[in-house]
Structure 1
Amino acid sequence: MTAARPQDGLGAAVLPHPDARLVIAGEAVGIGGDELINRITRTAVALSQLRPGPLFCGMRNNLASVLRYLAAWRCGRPIALLDPNLPAGTLADLARRFRPAVLLGFAHAPDGSPPARRDVPDPHPDLAVLLATSGSTGNPKLVRLSRTAVLANAQAIATALSITPGEIAPTSLPLHYSYGLSVLNSHLVAGASVMLTEAGLLERSFWTHLDAHRCTSLAAVPYQYEMLRRLRYDRSEHPTVTTLTQAGGRLSPELIAEFSKQADRFFVMYGQTEATARIAVLPPDRLAEKPGSVGVAVPGGRLEIEDGEVVYHGPNVMMGYAETAADLARGDDLGGALRTGDLGWLDSEGFLSITGRLKRIAKIFGVRVNLDDIERLLRDSGPVAATSGDDRVTVWAEGLDAAGCARLARRLGAELRVHWSGFDVRGIDRLPLLATGKIDYRALESRA
Structure 2
Amino acid sequence: MNLVGAGARLVDVAGGRTLAGDELTAEIERAAGDLAELPSGVLFARMSLDLASVLRYLGAFEAARAVALIDPALDPDVLAGLITRFRPAAVLAAPEAEPPAGYTASDGHWVRAEAEGVTPHPELAVLLPTSGSTGNPKLVRLSRHGLLSNADAIAEVLRIDAGEVAPTCLPLHYSYGLSVLNSHLLRGATVVIEASGVLGRGFWSAVQEHGITSLSGVPYHYEMLRRLKFDPAKYPTLRTLTQAGGKLRDELIAEFNDKMLAVGGRMYVMYGQTEASPRMTTVPAERLAEKLGSAGPALPGGKFVVRRDDGAETTHPKIVGEVLYRGPNVMMGYADDEAGLAAGDECGGTLATGDLGYLDEEGYLYVTGRLKRIGKVFGNRVSLDDLEHAVRVAEVGIDVVAAVSAGDKVVLFAELPEGEGAKAICKDAARALSARLHLHTSGFDVRPIDTVPLLASGKIDYRSLEGRV
TM value normalised by structure 1? 0.95
Identity %: 56
* Alpha carbons of structure 1 residues 130 and 109: separation in structure 2 relative to 1, 3 Å: farther
- Alpha-carbon contact 1:95-1:115 (below 8 Å) kept: no
CA distance, structure 2, for counterparts of residue 423 and residue 27 of structure 1: 36
Q: Give the structure 1 partner of residue 405 of structure 2.
A: 388
- Secondary structure (helix, strand or coil) at the match of 1:296 reads coil
> 2: CA distance between counterparts of 1:416 and 1:406?
15
Alpha-carbon distance between aligned partners in 1 of 2:358 and 2:223, rounded to the nearest angstrom: 27
Instruction: Tell me the distance in 2 between the aligned counterparts of 1:375 and 1:353.
Output: 29
1:426 corresponds in structure 2 to: 447
1:29: Cα distance to partner?
Answer: 5.6
Q: Does 1:169 align with 2:170?
A: no
1:274 is aligned to: 275
SS at match of 1:300: coil
CA offset at residue 382 of structure 1?
1.5
- State the secondary structure of the residue aligned to 1:140: coil
Do residues 158 (structure 1) and 155 (structure 2) align?
yes
- The answer (yes or no) to whether the contact 1:129–1:145 under 8 Å persists in 2 is yes
How far apart, in 1, do the equivalents of 2:27 and 2:11 lie? 14
Decide which moves more: 82-91 or 249-258.
82-91
Q: CA deviation at 1:421?
A: 0.7
State whether structure 2 residue 388 is matched by structure 1 residue 372. Answer: no
| Residues 27 and 326 of structure 1: CA distance in aligned 2, closer, same or farther (over 3 Å) | closer
Aligned to 1:129: 126
| Pairing 1:185–2:182 present | yes
Amino acid at match of 1:63: L
1:446 is displaced (CA, Å) by: 0.6
Deviation, structure 1 residue 378: 2.3
2:414 is equivalent to residue 397 of structure 1 = yes
Match of 2:217 among 214, 217, 220: 220
Distance of 2:298 and 2:17 partners within structure 1 = 37
Q: 353-362 vs 417-426, which deviates more? A: 417-426
Structure 1 unaligned segments of length 5 or more: list them: 1-12
- Residue pair 2:78, 2:135 contacting (<8 A) in 1 also: no
**Does the CA contact (< 8 Å) of 1:44 and 1:75 recur in 2?**
yes
Deviation of 1:47 after TM superposition, in Å, equals 0.8
Q: Is the 1:85–1:108 contact (alpha carbons within 8 Å) kept by the matching residues of 2? A: no
Q: Which residue of 2 aligns with 1:341?
A: 354
Q: Which amino acid aligns with 1:61?
A: L
Partner of 2:467, secondary structure, is: helix
Counterpart secondary structure, 1:261: helix
1:46 correspondence with 2:34: yes
Q: Is 1:83–2:65 an aligned residue pair? A: no
For 2:363, the equivalent position in structure 1 comes to 350
Equivalence for 1:60: 48
Aligned length: 436
Are residue 443 (structure 1) and residue 460 (structure 2) matched? no
The one-letter code of the counterpart of 2:425 is: G
C-alpha distance in 2, partners of 1:236/1:312? 38
Q: Distance in 2 between matches of 1:26 and 1:129?
A: 26
Structure 1 residue 258, shift from structure 2 partner: 1.3
Q: Structure 1 residue 118: deviation in Å?
A: 7.9
- Shift, 1:353, TM fit: 0.5
State the 1:439 CA deviation: 0.8
Once the two structures are superposed, residues 135-180 of structure 1 have per-residue CA deviations (whole angstroms, 9 ceiling, x without a partner) of 2111111100110001010001000101011000001100000000
Aligned positions of 1:212-291 closer than 5 A: 212-263=209-260, 264-291=265-292
Contact 2:90–2:112 under 8 Å retained in 1: no
| Secondary structure class of the residue paired with 2:382 | strand
Show the counterpart of 1:101.
89
**In 2 relative to 1, CA 109–52 (structure 1 residues): closer, same or farther, beyond 3 Å?**
farther
**1:408 and 2:424 are equivalent in the alignment:** no
1:206 aligns with 2:194: no
**What is the rounded CA distance, in whole Å, between the counterparts of 2:267 and 2:355 in structure 1?**
24
How far did residue 121 of structure 1 move? 2.7
CA distance in 2, matches of 1:363, 1:57: 24
Q: Distance in 2 between matches of 1:26 and 1:235?
A: 25
Pairwise CA distance, 1:26: 5.8
- 2:106 corresponds in structure 1 to none
User: In the alignment, does 2:206 pair up with 1:197?
Assistant: no
Q: Summarize the Cα distance change of 1:278–1:110 in structure 2 as closer, same or farther, 3 Å threshold.
A: farther
Q: CA deviation at 1:109?
A: 5.2
Residue identity matched to 1:399: L
TM-score, normalization: structure 2?
0.90
Asked whether the 8 Å contact 1:344–1:355 carries over to 2, the reply is yes
User: What letter is aligned with 1:278?
Assistant: R
Deviation at 1:366, TM superposition (A): 1.1
The change in CA–CA distance for 1:184 and 1:253 in structure 2 (over 3 A counts) is same
Aligned equivalents of 2:254, 2:370: Cα separation in 1: 25
Superposed CA deviations along residues 6-58 of structure 1, whole A, max 9, x for unmatched, are xxxxxxx2110121111112666621111100111111111111110111100
Q: Is the Cα–Cα contact under 8 Å of residues 39 and 116 in structure 2 kept in the other structure?
A: no
Contact preservation (8 Å) 1:362, 1:370 = yes
Mapping of 1:284-303 within 5 angstroms?
284-303=285-304
* 1:139 aligned partner: 136
What CA distance in whole angstroms lies between the structure 1 residues aligned with 2:8 and 2:467?
50
Equivalent-residue separation in structure 1 for 2:146 and 2:225 (angstroms): 32
Residue pair 2:78, 2:134 contacting (<8 A) in 1 also: no
Instruction: Report the counterpart of residue 322 of structure 2 in structure 1.
Output: 309
- 2:13 maps to what in 1? 25
Distance 1:443 1:208, change over 3 A: same
Q: Secondary structure of 1:332's partner?
A: coil
Q: Does the 8 Å CA contact 1:85/1:106 hold for their aligned counterparts?
A: no
1:414 maps to a residue whose letter is A
Q: Does the 8 Å CA contact 1:409/1:423 hold for their aligned counterparts?
A: yes
Distance in 1 (CA, whole Å) between partners of 2:369 and 2:97 is 38
